[in-house]
Amino acid sequence: MKPPPSSAATNRQLAGFIAKFDPKTARLIRACRAELRKIFPTAVELVYDNYNFFVIGYAPTERASDAILSIAAAANGVAMSFTHGATLSDPKKLLLGNGKQHRFLRLPSADLLRSADVRKLIQEAVRKARTPLPPSGRGYTIIKSISKKQRPRKKPTGK
């Protein structure tokens, strides 16, 4: 079955989700997404505009359980979460969290995604994925869920 192309309507909806953030965070989300699209050209982007976070997962299929990693944004910033980060080699202790499965990195800028140490983590996560990424073709974007009620996407302004 051929994957559906990312439609103009999907792209407009995605842009609307990102526009809810303050301009600096919105720029960071777009920059991280662009960088991850370069790294994962064949991946399906799974988009969730949830209560706590805006999330874009990168997976070989449309199933959330197949996601290799995701970026998650909230009013206080952007992070990259490795779905099975607890199994990754992390000699430089870059990954945060201590759960049984997930680990994450805070992303102060998209430049971190280009660092050799982070690229090694990404490559290992791809190698360890239960379902491999398609070797060719083009990925697409799918909106998986939208919560009616959401935490504010912008930082409260001081008085």
| pTM exceeds 0.85 for this model | yes
Whether the predicted pLDDT of 60 surpasses 50: yes
- What pLDDT was estimated at residue 150? 73
> Is 150 part of a structural domain of the chain?
no
> Is 12 part of a structural domain of the chain?
yes
> Is 59 part of a structural domain of the chain?
yes
> Is 1 part of a structural domain of the chain?
no
What letter does residue 58 receive in the DSSP assignment? E
> Is 120 part of a structural domain of the chain?
yes
Which residue range(s) make up the domain with 117? 8-143
Taking the chain, what is the end-to-end CA distance rounded to the nearest angstrom?
Answer: 55
Mean pLDDT of 110-114: 96
CB-count burial class (<10 Å; 0-12, 13-18, 19+) for 54: buried
Q: Which of 6-15, 91-100, 142-151 has the highest mean pLDDT?
A: 91-100
> Is 46 part of a structural domain of the chain?
yes
> Is 157 part of a structural domain of the chain?
no
| Number of domain units in the chain | 1
> Is 29 part of a structural domain of the chain?
yes
- What pLDDT was estimated at residue 51? 84
Residue 105 and residue 94 in contact, taking contact as beta carbons nearer than 8 Å: yes
- pLDDT tens for 70-105 read 999 999 999 999 999 999 999 999 999 998 999 999
